[in-house]
A = this chain, B = another copy of it.
Amino acid sequence: MKAFNDLADFSSEEIAALLKLASRLDSAPEPAALRGKVLALLFLSPSLRTLASFQAAMTRLGGGAFVISPEMSIHGIETRPGIVMDGAAAEHIREAVPVIASYGDAIGIRAFAERKNLANDLAETEFKALTDLIDTPYINMESALNHPCQSLADWKTMNDLDIPAQGGKFVLSWAYHPKALPFAVPAATVHMAAMRGMDVTVLRPEGFALPDAVMEKAHAAAELSGGSVIETDDRVEAMEGAHVIYAKSWSSARHYGDRIADEKARSELYHWCVDDPWFDNARPDCRFMHCLPVRRGVVVSDKVLDGPRSVVIHEARNRMVVQMAILHQMMGAKA
């Protein structure tokens, strides 16, 4: 495997094989599989779960990881092309990325959306500029529009819990948050659920539709898998018979990069906090999912998050489990 960048790069069979490998490595550890192997971890954006789970995954397979983030460097890392570097930054990303990659058998890269220009972020301009610098196998640890490790973990979590693929109803719901957040998780999630063959409803208030390109990609996945994708702002309709609600806040595409306008657009939407009444017409065993970190009392009530519907810790642990499979495929001995 040369890259783990997007679930869309894999067939359903390949995903199934990865998830099978993940389960096997979880139940039958292979502490010598990657001995002497090195994973470089480059965080251009902050992290907790990703930082911890990748290091843990490498240790469990007998290898190791090292972590680089820009604040470790002498004076930050310059990213602008063609610039005369006579300011604070002493190093350019054009050297930093290939050098860091050269120490690893694979590299994980995290770089959140710039959120200045939607077209650029939809095209993954920044992330591609980084991966174009290297030949080393790489893992997308969250980019402007993707978070494939999270999506693979979420897929596995639904399998673990026997939530049906064909015929399973998956609601991706916008939730309130004081800040305009990126599209990475919602874009990856709607595509993942569609690719899994589920009937997906995107529930969001007026003005917070996902970008067309995101919806088109999800529709294409549904077409292949036999699933479906619809959008609505009607919570009752959305939650009818749902197996899963996956909550996440995201920006308004209309006001992309305009923090003030986005805040205004969401200012009256603080009732979009998932709470018990949301589940009134869902399936009795409807699950609550979230990628974490999650704001209590803002995105979801304490009662739901601490209650039996919540599977957020299971999802988070599965990050480590599926990443073991990715790393094993990427760096392990060929059969």
Contact = CB atoms under 8 A, between A and B. Distances in A.
B46 A313 contact: no
A56 B73 contact: no
A59 B295 CA distance: 36
Contacts of A63: 59
B99 A74 contact: no
B103 A53 contact: yes
Contact of A82 (B29, B30, B302): B302
Contact of A72 (B51, B73, B86): B51
A48 interface: yes
Most chain B beta carbons < 10 A, residue from A56, A86, A98, A104: A56
B68 A51 contact: yes
Interface stretch (A32-40, A211-219, A254-262): A32-40
A74 B102 contact: no
Nearest to A42: B52
A294 B297 CA distance: 44
Given A83-B296, A92-B296, A95-B294, A62 B35 contact: yes
This chain: how many copies in the complex?
Answer: 3
Contacts of A36: 29-32, 59-62
A292 interface: yes
B59 A64 contact: yes
Given A62-B36, A91-B294, A52 B74 contact: no
23 contacts: A30-B36, A31-B35, A32-B35, A40-B56, A48-B73, A48-B96, A49-B99, A52-B100, A53-B103, A55-B66, A59-B65, A73-B293, A84-B296, A85-B296, A85-B297, A90-B293, A91-B294, A92-B294, A95-B316, A96-B293, A98-B313, A99-B313, A103-B317
